[in-house]
Amino acid sequence: MSTPDLHVTWAQYHLLIERLAVQVHESGWRFDAIVCLARGGLRVGDVLSRLFESPLGVLFTSSYRDGAGTEQSSLRIADALSSASPLPGPRWLLVDDMVDSGATFAQVLPVLKARHPHVSEIRSAVLWGKGHSVMRPDYVVEDLPHNPWIHQPFERYDTMNFEDLKRSWTDR
């Protein structure tokens, strides 16, 4: 028996981000900056940065490039962290939408530590943690032990062209 896919609405997605923010806040751990993994962690990082009034850096990574974003291939990590100014402090919160296999976090964490030696502690936070992941983030909103495929609300744009987009306006 296969695991049913998980379909997430915008309202559910935003609630998960808010729950993650509360979980991090209630842990009592204080961090100096947030680093989000793009693309999946962009929205998560943006909201957390606003709520915690914390500087935000973006590290672009890519592994789901094939099959319209449904097939994982080798991980690519950008050469540089993007931010308006250098990120402060020794404690950073690394955020993404999910930990699937765990390969991205497992490869990104040592890269961040090597590139930013002033950082002494990096904790990780995600909306979803899948059961087959090789690592467990510090903060997870929903554990998914059966590893469903997650359909996030913004994925509709992955296969949409501009004619489809215009048509969608009349369907509302």
Q: Which residues of 49-58 are buried (b: 16+ CB within 10 A; e: fewer)?
A: beebebbbbb
The set of residues, in sequence order, having a beta carbon less than 8 Å from that of 141 and lying 6+ positions away, is: 16, 19, 20, 23, 126, 127, 128
Q: Phi/psi of residue 123, each to 5°?
A: -110, 155
Location of structure tokens 């004619």 = 163
- What is the 3 state secondary structure string of the chain? CCCCCEECCHHHHHHHHHHHHHHHHHHCCCCCEEEEEECCCHHHHHHHHHHHCCCEEEEEEEEEEECCCCEEEEEEECCCCECCCCCCCCEEEEECCEECCCHHHHHHHHHHHHHCCCCCEEEEEEEEEECCCCCCCCEEEEEECCCCCEECHHHHHHCCCHHHHHHHHHCC
Instruction: Please choose, from the candidates 95, 102, 99, the residue with its C-alpha nearest in 3D space to the C-alpha of residue 47.
Output: 95
Instruction: Please choose, from the candidates 34, 67, 37, the residue with its C-alpha nearest in 3D space to the C-alpha of residue 51.
Output: 34
pLDDT of residue 123: 98
Q: Is the pTM of this model over 0.75?
A: yes
Residues of the chain with pLDDT under 50: 65, 68
pLDDT of residue 110: 96
pLDDT of residue 27: 98
19 with 47: CB under 8 angstroms? no
Q: May I ask the CATH class of domain 6-170?
A: alpha beta
**How far is it, in rounded angstroms, from Cα 26 to Cα 158?**
35
